[in-house]
Structure 1
Amino acid sequence: ALGRLYAPELTLTGNADAAVLLLPDRVLGGLGGDLLGALVAGGAFAAFLSTASGLTMAVAGVLTQDVLPSRGHLPARGVRHFRLGTVLAMAVPLAASVLVGSLPVADAVGLAFAVSASSFCPLLVLGIWWRRLTPPGAAAGMLVGGGAALVAVTATMAGLAGSGPLHALLAWPALWSVPLGFLTMVLVSLATPGRVPAGTAAVLARFHLPEELGAEAKA
């Protein structure tokens, strides 16, 4: 609301992301506006750096332990492998940022959340509440739901979404990709009933029962 009131031209030019940085000067002006704008910019950069560094370390750790090759029976957990994992974890987002540099930040964040929701939301919900979920069903649901959302995101970033209902479906893929992930997990799990991990009932009982009953179920 403040952006439309004090910086209405940003809506017309498509630079709405700059409203946060321009509002302090437009509202207060003078030295106070400059100081508040600097504080907002500094906080934004601190948030960017902390989030990016944390995600980079997390992805690099996963790549080091689970993806990079090991030596004999020893996993690849040395400093050298971790540095390589860090480079790989930074290279992919950097390449993606170059390709989608013209996409507004708010839209890019929404599309990223759509892909992650399509992959992990069905897995988390069914993994916690449905005892018949199987590993093949979980993997298939993540691949189908996340893959469908990724295709929609790619089409949107490439400008292939067009207009009308097709644009709405591709620009906001979570509307249909999340249910697709759920449906795939359920159908594949029902088709592979013998793949339910042993001890699933006991684990779910520990999740949902009070601590005393959960301890008895574990015993």
Structure 2
Amino acid sequence: DITTDVVVQVSAPVTVGGSGTIDGVENTEDVTLAPGEHHLGEGTSMILEAGSPVPVVAGAPADNSDWITPGWGFGGGHPTYQVYSLIVATFLGTLGLPHVLVRFYTNPDGRAARLTSLAVVGLLGVFYLFPTLLGVFARLYVPQLLITGTSDAAVLLLPGSVFSGWGGQLLAALVASGAIAAFLSTSSGLLVSIAGVLSTDVLRGRVRDFRIAATLAGVVPLALSLAVTSLDLSRTVGLVFAVAASTLCPLLVLGIWWRGLTAAGAGAGMTAGGLVAGTAAAVVVVGGVP
């Protein structure tokens, strides 16, 4: 069912059943949609035959083959390069995330730190398989989200579509509560990590200094987030990983596995990586590149 007016597009003729307003005409019988864009009114109900192409919201890929095109327009003339850059950033940037760095503080020696690095990358590698599985199951069980353009709600609507009744509702509630818990735990971990660095390296390291640092660590990112509310969350995550991969990750890898690293080299590497990655992220935020 369509809960709001929406413009969809189809790449091949498709016959739909149901009732409602299609292109300004009230319909109660089967309608064949010609290739192109069509307006669906609020309250329209659509029934598609098995195997038929699903109309998608205007602007989204219309063919199945378009969904597997690297980057889908991101990266300009080099979409494959953009995709692999994102893969490298998410792979290496994991080690440089502040709430992951806290885990290194508990290592008694270099061997334990190396094992921690491998374990973190391995666990995150397994986790990155789940978004792909989510996309496959969402395409199978909730294809109607392509029509309304609300595919970001797939993770919440998928359980109720797979399991009917109370089972699906309970599973959806569990997923929602797990997502909220993950948001809070990650945010608190980042806050504590940043506040700890500020209080010990910038301030005097007292309890009062930690409270001040925690306030700054929470207020400054909040103010910045209000200034870039139009930026896609999926892209901001990639930018964060890119900065972490260009600064803290090389420092950790070289510091753990290479004894020739000096303080001057570490500082120069972090500065260079931070300037390059930070500049690139700023250009993306202000809309300089796709």
Give me the TM-score of the superposition, normalised by structure 1: 0.62
Point out the more displaced range, 44-53 or 96-105: 96-105
Q: Distance in 1 between matches of 2:148 and 2:274?
A: 33
Deviation per CA, 1:25-84: give whole Å up to 9, x if none: 22224332221111100011111111211221222122122212xxxxxx3403x32221
Going from structure 1 to structure 2, the CA distance change for 1:64 and 1:48 (only over 3 Å counts) comes to same
Among candidates 206, 210, 227, match of residue 77 of structure 1:
206
Give the residue type in structure 1 aligned to 2:169.
D
1:46 counterpart = 2:175? no
The residue type paired with residue 161 of structure 1 is V
In the other structure, the counterpart of 2:191 is 56
Counterpart residue type for residue 275 of structure 2? G
Task: Work out whether residues 17 and 104 of structure 1, in 8 Å CA contact, stay in contact via their aligned partners in 2.
Answer: no
Structure 2: distance between partners of 1:157 and 1:12: 29
Q: 1:7 aligns with which of 136, 139, 142?
A: 142
| Deviation of the 1:123 alpha carbon | 1.4
Q: 1:25 to 1:161 in 2, by over 3 A?
A: same
**Number of residues of Structure 1 aligned to a counterpart in Structure 2:** 155
Counterpart for residue 174 of structure 1: none
Structure 1: distance between partners of 2:150 and 2:226: 18
Moved more, 109-118 or 3-12: 3-12
- Structure 1's unaligned 5+ residue stretches are 69-74, 163-219
Contact 1:64 1:81 in 2 (8 A): yes
CA contact (8 A) 1:17 1:105 kept: no
Over 3 Å counting, the alpha-carbon distance change for 1:81 and 1:125 in structure 2 is closer
SS at match of 2:201: helix
TM-score, reference length from structure 2: 0.48
Higher strand proportion (structure 1 or 2): 2
Q: Does structure 2 retain, via aligned residues, the 8 Å contact 1:61–1:82?
A: yes
Question: Residue in 2 aligned with 1:173?
Answer: none
Cα distance in 2 for partners of 1:156, 1:46 equals 30
Give 4+ residue runs of structure 1 displaced > 6 Å after superposition. Answer: none
Matches within 5 A, 1:169-188: none
Whichever residue aligns with residue 58 of structure 1, its letter is S
Query: Of the two structures, which has the highest relative contact order with CA contacts closer than 8 Å and spacing of 6 or more?
Result: 2
Report how far residue 9 of structure 1 moved. Answer: 5.0
CA RMSD of aligned residues (A): 2.3
1:42 is aligned with what amino acid? S
Select 2:159's aligned residue among 19, 24, 31: 24
Question: Is 1:90 paired with 2:221?
Answer: no
Which has the larger helix fraction? 1
2-side partners of 1:138 and 1:130: how far apart?
12
Query: Gaps spanning 5+ residues in structure 2: where?
Result: 1-135
Q: How many Å separate the matches in 2 of 1:140 and 1:13?
A: 49
1:65 match: secondary structure = helix
Q: 1:99 to 1:30 in 2, by over 3 A?
A: farther
Q: Aligned-pair distance for 1:88?
A: 0.4
Alpha-carbon distance in structure 1 between the residues aligned to 2:236 and 2:181: 20
Structure-2 separation of matches of 1:9 and 1:95? 36
Residue in 1 aligned with 2:270?
Answer: 142
Instruction: Return closer, same or farther for 1:103/1:128 CA change in 2, 3 Å cut-off.
Output: same
Q: In 1, distance between residues paired with 2:288 and 2:146?
A: 23
